C-alpha cells in the first residue's frame, strides 16, 4: 500500500466525494478531506473544477484540500 492510499479497515463507514459508500476492495486516494476511488480520478478532477468555478467558495475549498496559514 502506498502512502497515498487509505486503509479501509480503519476507515469504516466512509464515503467518497459524491457520498457513495466505500468498500474494502476499493483502491482509494485522499486529497484533503476528500476520498476518491482510483477509477474515479478523472471524475474527481471534474468535481474539483466545478467547485472552483465559484470564486466566493475558494477559501473554503482550499481549506478542505488542506490549505493552512503558515
Distance CA 43, CA 12 (A): 23
Between CA 50 and CA 43, with CA 25 as vertex, the angle to 5 degrees is 15
Sign for the pseudo-dihedral over CA of 29, 68, 11, 20 = negative
Query: Using 50, 70 and 90 to split pLDDT, how confident is the model at 43?
Result: very high
pLDDT tens digits, 52-64:
888 888 888 888 8
Q: What's the pTM value of the predicted model, to 2 decimals?
A: 0.67
Query: Is the predicted pLDDT of residue 8 greater than 60, yes or no?
Result: no
Comparison of pLDDT for 29 and 52, the residue scoring more: 29
- What is the pLDDT at residue 58? 84
Domain ranges of the chain: 1-70
Q: Which of 33, 10, 12, 34 is nearest to 22 (CA)?
A: 12
Amino acid at each position: 500500500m502506498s502512502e497515498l492510499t487509505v486503509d479501509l479497515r480503519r476507515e469504516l463507514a466512509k464515503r467518497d466525494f459524491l457520498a457513495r459508500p466505500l468498500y474494502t476492495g476499493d483502491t482509494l486516494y485522499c486529497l484533503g478531506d476528500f476520498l476518491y476511488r482510483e477509477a474515479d480520478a478523472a471524475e474527481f478532477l471534474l468535481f474539483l473544477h466545478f467547485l472552483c468555478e465559484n470564486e466566493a467558495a475558494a477559501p473554503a475549498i482550499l481549506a478542505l484540500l488542506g490549505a493552512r496559514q503558515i
